[in-house]
Amino acid sequence: MTMATLSSAFLFIFSCFLACSISVSGRPATFLEDFRITWSDSHIKQIYGGRAIQLILDQNSGCGFASKRRYLFGRVSMKIKLIPGDSAGTVTAFYMNSDTDTVRDELDFEFLGNRTGQPYTVQTNIYAHGKGDKEQRVNLWFDPAADFHTYTIIWNHHHIVFYVDEVPIRVYKNNEAKNIPYPKFQPMGVYSTLWEADDWATRGGLEKIDWSKAPFLAYYKDFDIEGCPVPGPANCASNPRNWWEGTAYQALNAMEARRYRWVRMNHMIYDYCTDKSRYPVTPPECMAGI
C-alpha cells in the first residue's frame, strides 16, 4: 500500500471518528425532539436553534409544555434559569405526572417566586397511588436566576431522588414492604408550567404578583430524558441492567448523604413530616430515613 493510500485511509478513519464523536454528543436534545407545547404556544419561544426555550408569563397567560412520550423509571434532567428580580406570586414547575385522575402518581419541583433579595424556595411533592400532601420546602443557597442550574429527578425501583445540581434535596424510599405506596406501575410524562399562583406561592399568599414587573421570563435548556418509554419494549422497566437501576443508584453514596444532611440542617424551611398540625401521627414514610 502506498503512502498516499495510507494517508487517505487514515484521513477517512479520522473523519469517521470525528463524525461518531459528534453524533455521540448529540444529547441533550433540542426542545422539539422530546417535547410539545401544551398551553399558550405564543408564550414559549425557542432560542439557540431550539436547544433552549424561553417561558413567558404576563397578564394574558402563562404557558406549559410536556414530553411527547411517557416513561416508567429513569432520569429526567433540565437546566433552568428562573425569573430574576421580583418574582413574587409566580410558580415555575418541573414535574412528572401519570396524567390519571384519582389514582395519580406525580413527582414535583415547584419554584416559588420571591420578593427581590429574598431566597428562592423550591417545593417538592410526591403523589403515590393518588395520595399526595407530602410537601417539603428548601431555600436555595444560590441565586437561581443569575445562571442555569441543573434540576434532576431519578426514579427507580429503590427510591426517588430530587437533585439540585449534584446535591440531593429529597429522598423517597420504596417501602412497599411496609405497605407504604410507591410509584411503580404508572408511566409518567414530563411537564413544565409557568403560572400565576399568588394566592399561595409567596409567604402563603401574603405577597401578591406585581404585574408592573411583567413579563416574567424563565429559561430552559439541556433537556435530557433517559428512561423506559411507554409504549416500548415490555421488559424495559423491569430490566435490572438499566443504568439507573445499578448499585450506584440504589442509595445515596457517602458524599451525597453528607450533602443531603447539610441541606436538611441548613436550608429546609418546611417538612410535612414534622407538621403536627396536619399530621398529629407522623406519616410512616417519614420514619424510613434515606
**CA 82 to CA 216: how far, in whole Å?**
9
How far is residue 208 from each of residues 93, 197, 211, measured CA to CA in Å?
18, 9, 9
Which residue type is seen at 17?
Answer: F
Catalytic positions are 106, 110
Residue 50 sits at the vertex; the CA angle it makes with 222 and 95, to the nearest 5 degrees, is 45
Residue with cell 443557597: 141
Q: Which three cell numbers stand for residue 124?
A: 417538592
**CA 253 to CA 43: how far, in whole Å?**
41
Q: Which residues pair with 216 in a beta bridge?
A: 57
Buried b (16+ CB within 10 A) or exposed e, 133-156: ebbbbbbbeeebbeebbebbbbbb
79 contacts 231 by C-beta, under 8 angstroms? no
